[in-house]
Amino acid sequence: MRKLTLLMVVLVSVFFTACGGTDDDFYNNDSESSAKVYDMWKYMTPNNSYDIEYDKYENGKKIDYFFEVTIVFENGVVERTSGDDRTTLTLNQNSIKIEEPDGNVVQVQRYVKIGDTNVFKSATIKSCIADDFLRSITIHGSEFYNVIKVTCRTEGSSSELYYAYEEGIVSVYRDDGKVKTEIVKVDERRLQ
C-alpha cells in the first residue's frame, strides 16, 4: 500500500509538472540567473500602450521630467514617442531592430543569458553586456521587479539600461566622465 501511495504522488507530480508550464517558463524559470535564457523583447516592450512619466536627474539631483507615449501596434511594432523624438522597435525571429530618432539603427540579440556580450550592436556602441538580472531594484524611490540590466560602452561614456519584464525601459544611467545622468520611470497610464 505504501508503494502505491508513493507511486501516485510521483505520478501526480510528474503530471502537474509536465502540464503546468508555458513556453515563457523556458525563458523565465527559477534556476540560476546566469543559466537562464531571457527574451529581450519581453523586457524591452510592454504588452499594452502607455503614457509614461520619467524623472531626469543630473549628479543625483532631479532637474526635470518628461512624458513618453509607448504604442504597441497590432502588427507587433512598438513605437516610443517623446516630443518630436520617435524610436521604433521591430521584432525579428532572433533579433530586435531599434530605429532611433537620430537615424542610428541598433540590432539587439533577442535571446540572452546574463554575461552575454555584444547584445546591442550599432556603429556607435563599442560593447554591451547583459550584466545582471534583478528580482527587484529601487531607483530614486521607484521600485521595479524582474529587471535585466544591460551595461554599454560608447565613445567616452558608459550607460546602464534597466528593462523590466513586460514593462519596457524603466531607467537609464549615463556617465560621460563629467555629468552623471539618470532617467527613472515614475508613473504610467494605460492608453485605450
Using one digit for the tens of pLDDT, what is the confidence trace for 74-117?
998 999 999 999 999 999 999 999 999 999 999 999 999 999 99
Q: Checking phi first, is residue 140 left (phi over 0); if not, alpha (psi -120 to 50) or beta?
A: left
Q: What is the largest CA-CA distance in the chain?
A: 74
CA torsion, ordered 18, 20, 26, 32, to nearest 10 deg: -90
Q: What is the pLDDT of residues 129-186, one digit of tens each?
A: 999 999 999 999 999 999 999 999 887 889 999 999 999 999 999 999 999 999 999 9
pTM of the model: 0.81
Place of cell 502537474: 16
